[in-house]
Amino acid sequence: MNIRTFFTGAVTAASLLASSSYAEELSVATFVPPQHATNTILFDWFGKELDARSGGSLTMKLYPAGQLGAGPVQQYKRAVEGVADITFGLQAYTPALFPKTMLIIPPGKASNSQEGTERLLSVFDEHLADEYGDVKMLGVFTVAGAAWAANKDISTMEGLNGAKMVPYAAMTSPIIEAMGATPVQMPVTEMYTGLSTGTIDAATVGYSNMTPPWNFWDASSHLVENVPVQFAVFFVVMNKERYMELSSEHRAIIDELAGEAFSMKGAEAFTFVEDRAFGMLNGSEQMANVTRIKVSDEERAKMDAAVSTGLDAILADYEGRGIADARAIYNAINAD
């Protein structure tokens, strides 16, 4: 079985396009602002593809910034209940629903958003599809937390000792603890203040967190690179009943766009943002008071050993909760 088995149907939209006879508009709910890259890249692409492939008979309308429900936590539920036809959200906000998908979050073989997404897709049909049985799955993709923003030097195991650090997801707390730091759970909207006031010493970040609109470069004294990379994982899902109500022609278009194409476009959106932010850091006046430091190979080896210890604790917890294949899934995601 390959990725298209779950995401796509057997009939192509192109062969059915001519028989599409009535207009449909799909509502798309997202909690991020209109200028977010998932809107300007992913959903812009999706809307244009729907329109072009259907001859204008299938379109979408974006409702950004929580217009169909505030906050990210209920996004999956909003799709299941039909509050919106399509929703964008993070699995980590409802981890009990997606324990196996969240095994992409701990450090492994991937180092960026595209690699993480490709690895997630490679195991989706065999290991993860059953977590999305209540919806029509459109895409899953990742963004990499490839650095630490900090208000002190934590580029060594000694520097990490006792540091209050925000991980990308609560599930990686055992890894933070194994490195000697103290995990602190805090939404990204509060991290700037946390770094400024010393409530936290560090946070796992993407480069885009350092630049506008987050501006962590104003609240951090250090940007630490060459760290064990954690990932955030995202979904875009569609109400199953709404999908089935569409004509076969329109369902075929959805099927052709869903899966690998949709997921990699989501990864592309985050890659664009990270690449742009990385470029902004070089020579920026805002970085004048921030020390950029790379973890040495020797210290990175120590950190990786701690990650392995923390990962064992995570997988043991999974097995204790009855998810016996968690280790096999993690290994499959991170296969050579």
- State the residue for tokens 């970040």: 205
Q: Confidence band (pLDDT; 50, 70, 90) for 187? A: confident
- pLDDT for residue 17 is more than 50: no
Indicate the burial class of 289 (C-beta count within 10 angstroms; 0-12, 13-18, 19 or more).
exposed
CB 183 within 8 A of CB 158: no
269-310 residue pLDDT tens: 999 999 999 999 987 999 999 999 999 999 999 999 999 999
- State the residue for tokens 């770094």: 195
302-334 residue pLDDT tens: 999 999 999 999 999 999 999 999 999 999 999
Where b means 16+ CB within 10 Å and e means fewer, 182-220 reads: ebbebeeeebbebbeeeebbbbbbbbbbbbeebebbebb
pLDDT, mean of residues 148-160: 98
What separation, in Å, do the N-terminal and C-terminal C-alpha atoms of the chain show?
20
For residues 68 and 66, give the distance between their C-alpha atoms in angstroms, rounded to a whole number: 5
- pLDDT for residue 158 is more than 60: yes
pLDDT, mean of residues 88-104: 96
For residues 234 and 230, give the distance between their C-alpha atoms in angstroms, rounded to a whole number: 14
246-273 residue pLDDT tens: 999 999 999 999 999 999 999 999 999 9
The pLDDT of residue 19: 44
Residue 173: both structure tokens together: 């707390």
22-46 residue pLDDT tens: 799 999 999 999 999 999 999 999 9
Q: Which residue has the higher pLDDT, 11 or 243?
A: 243
pLDDT, mean of residues 218-227: 98
The pLDDT of residue 14: 46
Select from 168, 99, 103 the least CA-distant residue to 132: 99
Q: Confidence band (pLDDT; 50, 70, 90) for 9? A: very low
**Complete domains list, the chain, with CATH:** 3-90+115-141+236-275 (3.40.190.170), 147-229+283-333 (3.40.190.170)
Residue 206: both structure tokens together: 């993407």
Tell me the pLDDT of the chain averaged across its residues.
94
CB 53 within 8 A of CB 256: yes
**Overall residue count recorded for the chain in this entry:** 336
The pLDDT of residue 3: 56
For residues 72 and 93, give the distance between their C-alpha atoms in angstroms, rounded to a whole number: 7
Residue 153: both structure tokens together: 């030097």
The pLDDT of residue 20: 44
Q: Residue 58: how many CA atoms within 13 Å on its side-chain side?
A: 26
Record the pTM: 0.91
Residue 133 CB partners (closer than 8 Å, separation 6+):
none
The pLDDT of residue 7: 57
The pLDDT of residue 1: 44
- Percentage with pLDDT > 70 across the chain: 94
- DSSP for 246-269 reads S-HHHHHHHHHHTTHHHHHHHHHH
